[in-house]
Structure 1
Amino acid sequence: MKILIVEDEPDLRDTISASLLKEKFLVEVAADFHSAMDKINDYDYDCILLDIMLPGGTGLDLLRELKRLHRNDSVLIISAIDSLDDKVTGLELGADDYLTKPFHLAELNARIKSVIRRKQTQGELSVILGNVILYPDRREVSVNNTPLTLNRKEFDLLYYFVVNPNRVINKMSLAESVWGDNIDQADSLDFIYSQVKNLRKKLKQVGATIEVTAVYGFGYKLTEI
Structure 2
Amino acid sequence: MPKQLPYHTIHEIFSRFQAAEPEPKGELNHTNAYTLLVAVALSAQATDKGVNRATEGLFKVADTPEKMLALGEDALIEHIKTIGLYRNKAKNVMKMARILVDEYDGQVPSSRAALSSLPGVGRKTANVVLNMWWQFPAQAVDTHIFRFGNRSGVAMGKDVVAVERAIEDHIPAEFQQHAHHWMILHGRYICLARKPRCVDCLIRDLCEFEEKTE
Q: TM-score range by the shorter chain?
A: 0.3 to 0.5
TM-score where L is the length of structure 2: 0.35
TM-score where L is the length of structure 1: 0.33
| Structure holding more helix per residue | 2
| Structure holding more strand per residue | 1
Whose RCO is larger (CA < 8 A, sep 6+)? Answer: 2
